[in-house]
Amino acid sequence: MERKVVIKWLKIFSISILILSLVGLLDLILLSTIINVTLDSQQFNILTLIFQSGFMTPHAALLWIILLCVFCGFIVLSYSIFKVANKNILEDEILAKFLLLIGLFLIIGGFITMNFIVLLGNRYIDTGITYITLQNAQYSPDYTPLMGAIMWMYFTVLVSCFLTSGLIFGGVGLKWMLLIQEEESSNK
């Protein structure tokens, strides 16, 4: 593999992950503040439901905060990948291991993020009259406008992109490591 090609694609993937993470963070914030959920003929935004209304368990607030931190972590990770690719000072073998490690981080981080999204979506909203999960409220036009469902589905798309990117990073890193080791063993 040519180093220049790997560095070029590393920059492209890191910028893509940065953009996806920023959009995911904005999506979480906008979904939580702008989209209203109608419960018992009253409208609440999701932040109010999670933090102030008492309709959801305290675990929902913790999950929302952790999800916010995970998106910030992906932003930092993608920025650091871009900085490493820009400096271009790592040897080929270390860069290959770096790619493999980044792939593993993206896969593990993607699964953890999806777990938090599913757990938050399965939290119940209990007003005394209405008893529904947050995810079902997001997908039901009786409770939430269509834009809320679209914004909620973006999280699944985002995690799918992270998992796919992790597989690509890991595969390229592993392939490059094997090529380097094969080249070293043939030189001996």
Q: Tell me the domain boundaries of the chain.
A: 3-181
**Which tens digit of pLDDT belongs to each residue from 116-168?**
999 999 998 888 888 889 899 899 988 999 998 999 999 999 999 999 999 99
Place of tokens 């985002």: 158
Q: pTM here?
A: 0.86
Dihedral of CA 59/61/67/72: which sign? negative
pLDDT band at 1 (very low <50, low <70, confident <90, very high): low
% residues pLDDT > 90 (the chain): 51
Buried b (16+ CB within 10 A) or exposed e, 41-75: eeebebbebbeeeebbeeebbebbeebeebbeebb
Q: Which residues contact 125 (CB under 8 A, 6 or more apart)?
A: 37, 39, 49, 55, 56, 131, 132, 133, 134, 137
Assess contact for 133 and 46: CB atoms under 8 A.
Answer: no
The whole-angstrom separation of Cα 136 and Cα 145 is: 12
The Cβ of residue 111 has, within 10 Å, a number of other Cβ atoms equal to 13
CA distances from 89 to 55, 85, 94, 109 (A): 53, 8, 10, 26
Mean pLDDT of 90-111: 90
What does the mean pLDDT of the chain come to?
90
Dihedral of CA 148/139/108/93: which sign? negative
% residues pLDDT > 70 (the chain): 99
SS3 (DSSP) at 106: helix
Task: Extract the tokens encoding 171.
Answer: 């595969």
Q: At residue 187, does pLDDT exceed 90?
A: no
Q: What is the enclosing helix (H) or strand (E) of 42?
A: strand 42-45
